[in-house]
Amino acid sequence: MKLAGRIEIAAPARDVWDLMIDPVSLAACVPGVQHVARVDDRTFKGTISAAVGPMEGQFEFASTIVSSEYPTDLQVETLGTDSVTRSQLQANVQAWLEPLDPGRTALAYRATVNVNGRLAIVGEMILRATAGVMIGELVKCLRARLEAGAGGRPAAADVAAGPPG
Protein backbone atom coordinates (compact mmCIF):
# COMPACT_ATOMS: atom_id res chain seq x y z
CA MET A 1 0.00 0.00 0.00
CA LYS A 2 1.44 3.35 -1.02
CA LEU A 3 0.61 6.78 0.31
CA ALA A 4 1.96 10.19 -0.61
CA GLY A 5 1.44 13.80 0.34
CA ARG A 6 2.90 17.31 0.36
CA ILE A 7 2.40 20.16 2.78
CA GLU A 8 3.76 23.72 2.89
CA ILE A 9 5.12 25.03 6.15
CA ALA A 10 5.90 28.66 7.06
CA ALA A 11 9.32 27.88 8.49
CA PRO A 12 12.86 27.64 7.14
CA ALA A 13 13.91 24.27 5.77
CA ARG A 14 16.59 23.79 8.42
CA ASP A 15 14.09 24.16 11.26
CA VAL A 16 11.72 21.73 9.63
CA TRP A 17 14.53 19.26 9.20
CA ASP A 18 15.76 19.54 12.77
CA LEU A 19 12.31 18.80 14.07
CA MET A 20 11.82 15.82 11.78
CA ILE A 21 15.05 14.07 12.64
CA ASP A 22 14.43 14.24 16.34
CA PRO A 23 12.67 11.04 17.38
CA VAL A 24 11.17 12.73 20.42
CA SER A 25 9.37 15.38 18.40
CA LEU A 26 8.34 12.88 15.77
CA ALA A 27 6.85 10.58 18.41
CA ALA A 28 5.01 13.46 20.04
CA CYS A 29 3.28 14.15 16.74
CA VAL A 30 2.01 10.61 16.11
CA PRO A 31 -1.74 10.73 16.86
CA GLY A 32 -2.95 8.54 19.70
CA VAL A 33 0.47 7.14 20.49
CA GLN A 34 1.02 5.88 24.02
CA HIS A 35 3.84 4.46 26.06
CA VAL A 36 6.42 6.27 23.97
CA ALA A 37 9.99 5.50 24.81
CA ARG A 38 13.17 6.70 23.20
CA VAL A 39 15.39 3.75 22.42
CA ASP A 40 18.36 5.65 21.04
CA ASP A 41 19.14 8.75 18.95
CA ARG A 42 17.38 7.28 15.95
CA THR A 43 14.70 5.01 17.37
CA PHE A 44 11.56 5.35 19.45
CA LYS A 45 8.88 2.86 20.28
CA GLY A 46 5.26 3.11 21.33
CA THR A 47 1.77 1.70 21.23
CA ILE A 48 -1.31 2.73 19.27
CA SER A 49 -4.79 1.45 20.12
CA ALA A 50 -7.33 0.86 17.38
CA ALA A 51 -10.83 -0.58 17.23
CA VAL A 52 -12.94 -1.66 14.32
CA GLY A 53 -16.49 -2.52 15.23
CA PRO A 54 -16.28 -5.08 17.99
CA MET A 55 -12.59 -5.83 17.47
CA GLU A 56 -10.03 -3.91 19.47
CA GLY A 57 -6.30 -4.23 19.41
CA GLN A 58 -2.99 -2.56 20.09
CA PHE A 59 -0.13 -1.95 17.78
CA GLU A 60 3.29 -2.07 19.34
CA PHE A 61 5.79 -0.45 17.06
CA ALA A 62 9.34 0.78 16.80
CA SER A 63 10.34 3.51 14.36
CA THR A 64 13.92 4.09 13.30
CA ILE A 65 15.43 6.87 11.26
CA VAL A 66 17.45 4.84 8.79
CA SER A 67 18.84 7.66 6.68
CA SER A 68 18.99 11.42 6.89
CA GLU A 69 20.64 13.57 4.22
CA TYR A 70 19.54 17.17 4.53
CA PRO A 71 17.28 18.24 2.84
CA THR A 72 16.37 15.56 0.36
CA ASP A 73 16.35 12.23 2.08
CA LEU A 74 14.84 11.25 5.37
CA GLN A 75 13.74 7.64 5.74
CA VAL A 76 11.91 6.20 8.70
CA GLU A 77 11.30 2.47 9.00
CA THR A 78 8.53 1.30 11.28
CA LEU A 79 7.95 -2.26 12.39
CA GLY A 80 4.78 -3.08 14.25
CA THR A 81 2.97 -6.09 15.64
CA ASP A 82 -0.72 -6.23 16.41
CA SER A 83 -1.85 -7.73 19.68
CA VAL A 84 -4.71 -9.77 18.22
CA THR A 85 -3.22 -11.71 15.34
CA ARG A 86 0.50 -11.09 15.96
CA SER A 87 0.66 -9.99 12.33
CA GLN A 88 3.56 -7.83 11.27
CA LEU A 89 3.26 -4.38 9.80
CA GLN A 90 6.13 -2.70 8.05
CA ALA A 91 6.04 0.93 7.02
CA ASN A 92 8.69 2.86 5.19
CA VAL A 93 8.25 6.62 5.08
CA GLN A 94 10.49 8.73 2.88
CA ALA A 95 10.38 12.50 3.28
CA TRP A 96 12.18 15.38 1.61
CA LEU A 97 12.13 19.15 1.77
CA GLU A 98 11.90 21.75 -0.97
CA PRO A 99 12.97 25.17 0.30
CA LEU A 100 10.48 27.57 -1.34
CA ASP A 101 11.77 30.88 0.02
CA PRO A 102 13.75 31.69 3.15
CA GLY A 103 10.77 31.37 5.46
CA ARG A 104 8.77 28.70 3.61
CA THR A 105 9.36 25.03 2.96
CA ALA A 106 7.45 22.24 1.26
CA LEU A 107 7.53 18.88 3.01
CA ALA A 108 6.78 15.96 0.71
CA TYR A 109 6.53 12.31 1.67
CA ARG A 110 5.93 8.90 0.24
CA ALA A 111 5.06 5.88 2.32
CA THR A 112 4.81 2.18 1.69
CA VAL A 113 2.92 0.08 4.21
CA ASN A 114 2.93 -3.71 4.08
CA VAL A 115 1.12 -6.16 6.31
CA ASN A 116 1.94 -9.83 6.59
CA GLY A 117 -0.19 -12.44 8.26
CA ARG A 118 -3.84 -12.64 9.05
CA LEU A 119 -4.21 -8.92 9.63
CA ALA A 120 -3.96 -8.49 5.87
CA ILE A 121 -7.47 -9.99 5.66
CA VAL A 122 -8.84 -6.86 7.27
CA GLY A 123 -5.70 -4.86 6.70
CA GLU A 124 -6.84 -2.85 3.76
CA MET A 125 -10.02 -1.92 5.48
CA ILE A 126 -8.29 -0.62 8.57
CA LEU A 127 -4.82 0.30 7.59
CA ARG A 128 -4.90 2.21 4.38
CA ALA A 129 -7.30 4.84 5.61
CA THR A 130 -5.86 4.93 9.08
CA ALA A 131 -2.23 5.13 7.97
CA GLY A 132 -3.09 7.89 5.51
CA VAL A 133 -4.87 9.96 8.14
CA MET A 134 -2.15 9.35 10.73
CA ILE A 135 0.69 10.42 8.49
CA GLY A 136 -1.37 13.42 7.41
CA GLU A 137 -1.99 14.36 11.05
CA LEU A 138 1.67 13.84 11.87
CA VAL A 139 2.89 16.30 9.27
CA LYS A 140 0.18 18.77 10.22
CA CYS A 141 1.30 18.51 13.82
CA LEU A 142 4.90 19.17 12.81
CA ARG A 143 3.75 22.21 10.86
CA ALA A 144 1.68 23.48 13.78
CA ARG A 145 4.67 23.21 16.08
CA LEU A 146 6.94 25.02 13.67
CA GLU A 147 4.47 27.74 12.82
CA ALA A 148 3.66 28.28 16.47
CA GLY A 149 7.35 29.03 16.86
CA ALA A 150 7.89 26.19 19.26
CA GLY A 151 11.49 26.27 18.19
CA GLY A 152 11.31 22.76 16.89
CA ARG A 153 11.20 21.25 20.34
CA PRO A 154 8.01 19.89 21.88
CA ALA A 155 7.69 20.12 25.61
CA ALA A 156 9.11 17.06 27.29
CA ALA A 157 5.75 16.38 28.95
CA ASP A 158 4.21 15.72 25.55
CA VAL A 159 6.47 12.77 25.04
CA ALA A 160 6.31 11.34 28.49
CA ALA A 161 2.59 10.78 28.05
CA GLY A 162 2.70 7.20 29.24
CA PRO A 163 5.05 4.88 31.05
CA PRO A 164 7.86 3.60 28.87
CA GLY A 165 6.76 0.33 27.26
Partner 1 sequence: MNVSGRYDLVVIGGGSAGCVVAARASEDPAKRVLLVEAGPDPRPTPDVIADPKRQGEVILQSPFVRLYEVERPDGSTFPLISGRVMGGGSSVNNMSVIRPIRRDFDAWSRFGGPAWSYDALLPLMRAIEDDPDFGDQPLHGRGGPLRLHRSWKLDDPADPPARALIAAAADFGLPRCDDLNVPEPFGVCASPYSQVDGRRQSVADAYLEIARNRPNLTILSDATATRLDIAGGRVRGVELATPDGPSTAGADQVVVAAGTYHSPQLLMLSGIGPAGPIEAVGLRVAHQLDGVGENFQDHAVVYITFQGTTELREDYLIPKVRLIAKSRPDLEYGDLHVFMRPSIRVAGIPPLLPVSIHLLDVRSRGRLWLTSADPFDLPAVDPAILRHPDDVRAMLDAMDFVTRLTAHPKLAEFYGPLISPESPDGWEEHVTSSYITYNHAVGTCRMGSADDPLAVVDPELRVHGLDNLWIADASVLPVIPHATTNLAAILVGEVAARNIARA
Task: Report the residue number, 126 or 160, with the smaller CB distance to partner 1.
Answer: 126
Please answer whether residues 107 and 142 qualify as being in contact, where contact means their C-beta atoms are separated by less than 8 angstroms. yes
Which residues have CB under 8 Å from 118's CB, separation 6+? 85, 87
Positions in 125-164 near partner 1 (CB under 8 A) = 125-126, 128-130, 132-134, 137
CB of 2 to partner 1, least distance (A): 7
Residue from 10, 39, 55, 100 binding partner 1 (CB under 8 A): 55
Please answer whether residues 117 and 87 qualify as being in contact, where contact means their C-beta atoms are separated by less than 8 angstroms. yes
Binding mask 14-33 for partner 1 (x = CB under 8 A): ----------------xxxx
Strands 104-116 and 88-101 come out as antiparallel
Picking from 163, 138, 150, 148, the residue whose alpha carbon sits closest to that of residue 23 is 138
Q: Which residues bind partner 1 (CB under 8 A)?
A: 1-2, 30-34, 48-55, 84-85, 114, 116, 118-126, 128-130, 132-134, 137
